[in-house]
Chain A
């Protein structure tokens, strides 16, 4: 596997308060790094620095060997997906998905073909001419995905993208993300506070706490680390199971 992203000794502070402390990691092509972290741990700042929306105080970023420091956000080919789908309300579903291609001045026939294929893939064809406010939460998030994927990003940055969805839609979206990620060989940094979501979507795992990132070599290490609280959750469900068995 070729190394796609290399982050070395990244630090950032706001008003003398450290937000990111000496963060280093590397990401290979097609990998999904699931970063677990609580609110205020610095995960949004990390994603914004990678996207070029914030400047780091120290450290280096390289994407396919290219120093990202002088590259503006629009030229990084990294899409930042928020918790909210943030569909453009003045555009239809079709035009939302076509947005990145129109900005890149792709030929009309090519746009029509690519957008139609993407809408088919995300099962959104019948909603193509609808306004964003006519869609459900899950459909909006799918449109947001399509809008990001169509420009073939080198890296997808996801900031708790399914955080506002109900449990069933969230599970569906996680499966959709897995399918599309594998199919398009998308490299992603997926930030979440839900350990189950991290285990579902990730191929590699990290834990961000007070601005410091711990990378895990295996799923077992990630599960066993007390800070992820996965072990205690497993123990809880096992105790429930035992109780139900003994009472039955």
Chain B
């Protein structure tokens, strides 16, 4: 009974902001002190279907950026973590992987901005992508570092003596062994990129309007219905990701 009550309270606690966002999105003329909106309308959602809708374009841009960052950072992190583990200076290199965290992403963006301009990537998706990768790649490298243990090397060696070429050992043994960690790295780097505002805002110079950037803009303009719809769209992919990876996240160590 107690645990049920606790579960109900937790669901209420987590669900309340989403309920409120839904009400803000569909409610019209909702003013204090009214407890609920006087009129409900789906106009904001209907406008999403319009071909030139900015929110849907932002959603697509965010998905493209976060998806690319997740795949590139996870693949790069897997290779880099292996190189670090096999290096004679593994401990030093691993410590160097923490360096990007000495700076908040927004400050990192300010520091790399001159280079992004020289590369003619300022205000482009490519520039934002490069900046996000600088944050996500070390993160994925650190996350995947523990995979390259002595036992992983033994698995690889065993596979080689059983007849695998290096490529077969990677595909048939190492990647399946690493899959739970790779999945975690994909989800984490996707979320890292998906929710980033500071770095994206600086490097995009207002031209690459991701969904997170749009939410901040609408909040700044006091456009509650659009801010609410954008926020709902913003939480949708992470919610799907968490749902899909529920079994992995709830797995006991």
Contacts and interface: CB of A to CB of B under 8 A. Distances in A.
A99 B176 CA distance: 14
A100 interface: yes
Interface residues of A, number: 27
Given A88-B173, A88-B176, A103-B172, A73 B154 contact: no
A90 B164 CA distance: 17
Contact of B158 (A52, A72, A86, A103): A86
B160 A74 contact: yes
B177 A89 contact: yes
Contact of B161 (A74, A88, A90, A104): A74
Contacts of A80: 157-158, 161
A151 interface: yes
A104 B165 CA distance: 11
B203 to A, nearest CB: 40
A100 B173 CA distance: 12
A104 B176 CA distance: 19
Given A90-B176, A90-B177, A82 B164 contact: no
B151 interface: yes
A53 B160 contact: yes
Contact of B165 (A74, A147, A151): A74
Interface residues on B, range: 10 to 19
Contact of B164 (A78, A81, A103): A103
Contact of B151 (A76, A84, A90): A84
B217 interface: no
A76 B161 contact: yes
Interface in A59-101: 72-74, 76-82, 84, 86, 88-90, 99-100
A72 B161 CA distance: 9
Most buried by A among B157, B162, B173, B177: B162
Contacts of A148: 162
Contacts of A34: none
The CB with the most chain B CB atoms within 10 A, among A81, A89, A99, A148, is that of A99
A148 B158 CA distance: 10
B161 A51 contact: yes
B157 A73 contact: yes
A2 B162 CA distance: 25
Contact of A53 (B151, B161, B164, B177): B161
Contacts of A90: 176-177, 179
B155 interface: yes
B151 A103 contact: no
A148 B176 CA distance: 20
Nearest to B169: A74
B253 interface: no
A84 B160 CA distance: 16
A86 B154 contact: yes
A102 to B, nearest CB: 8
Interface centre among A48, A73, A103 (most CB of B within 10 A): A73
A81 B161 CA distance: 9
A74, A79, A89, A151: residue with the most chain B Cβ atoms closer than 10 Å:
A74
**9 closest residue pairs by CB, A with B:** A73-B160, A90-B176, A103-B163, A80-B161, A100-B162, A79-B161, A53-B157, A74-B163, A51-B161
21 contacts: A52-B161, A53-B157, A53-B160, A72-B165, A73-B160, A73-B161, A74-B162, A74-B163, A74-B168, A79-B161, A80-B161, A86-B151, A88-B177, A89-B177, A100-B162, A100-B163, A103-B163, A103-B168, A147-B162, A151-B162, A157-B161
Interface of A: 48, 51-53, 72-74, 76-82, 84, 86, 88-90, 99-100, 103-104, 147-148, 151, 157
